[in-house]
Amino acid sequence: MVTYYYQRPPMYDEKLNKSALSILRWAPVFFFFMGYWALGNKQIYENTVRPITYSVAPVNTGHTGAPYVGPDLPIFIVALVYLFALIFESLLEACLIHFKCKDPEEPDEVDEKLGNYWECVASTYRKKWLAEEIYNSNQLNIRTLGIEAVEKMRTFVGNKRVIRTTPNYDILSNPVYQTLF
Q: Name the residue with higher pLDDT: 92 or 70.
A: 92
User: Does residue 12 have a pLDDT over 60?
Assistant: yes
Q: For residue 170, count other CB atoms closer than 10 A to its CB.
A: 15
Distance of CA 146 to the CA centre of its chain: 26
Q: 0.85 exceeded by the pTM? A: no
**Mean per-residue pLDDT for 11-32?**
86
**pLDDT tens track for 75-97:** 889 999 999 998 898 888 888 88
- Residue 81, pLDDT score: 93
Query: What is the pLDDT of the chain when averaged over all its residues?
Result: 78
| Distance between CA atoms of residues 136 and 152, nearest Å | 18
Give 28's pLDDT tier (boundaries 50, 70, 90). very high
